[in-house]
Amino acid sequence: MINLISRTISHINSLLKGLQVKGFLAVVLVGFLMLTTNVSDGQNDKGLKERVREKVEQNDAQRPKTVGQWFKDARETEASPGERLQKIGQQSGEAFKEFGSGYVEGAQETASDVGDSAAQAGRNISNKVAR
């Protein structure tokens, strides 16, 4: 009886040594995370579509904002390439103007943040020197 128990324990130990415990634990952990994490694919969010539409329509530029509008505009001026080129030039100018204004705003905010950080660093250094 003792011999049987001893052989059973040694057999279980050899099986456990044969298993890759780290790999098993990794699979269990990934499975646990997959089952407990709530991931939404966003397709059921009807508000998202409306928010994107508002963002697109927020800009009051006269140029096309969507691919559908672009193709519609292209079909309307299909017969006269000169008019089409003129529209493309105007729309490109508007786009670059819009991009430039966003770039300037971002650069101003960054410069302001850098200035604030430099002023704070100067105050920190003067406080350390005064001590």
- For the chain, give the number of residues: 131
Residue with tokens 């003067």: 126
Reading the block at residue 130, the tokens are 């005064």
**Quick one: pLDDT at residue 6?**
87
**Quick one: pLDDT at residue 125?**
76
Do 77 and 84 meet the contact criterion of CB atoms below 8 Å apart?
yes
**Quick one: pLDDT at residue 4?**
83
Q: What is the pLDDT of residues 38-62, one digit of tens each?
A: 766 656 666 777 877 777 666 666 7
What are the residues whose beta carbons fall under 8 Å from the beta carbon of 90, sequence distance 6 or more?
Answer: 63
**Quick one: pLDDT at residue 42?**
56
**Residues in the chain where the model's pLDDT stays below 50:** none
What mean pLDDT value characterizes the chain? 76
Reading the block at residue 29, the tokens are 């952990």
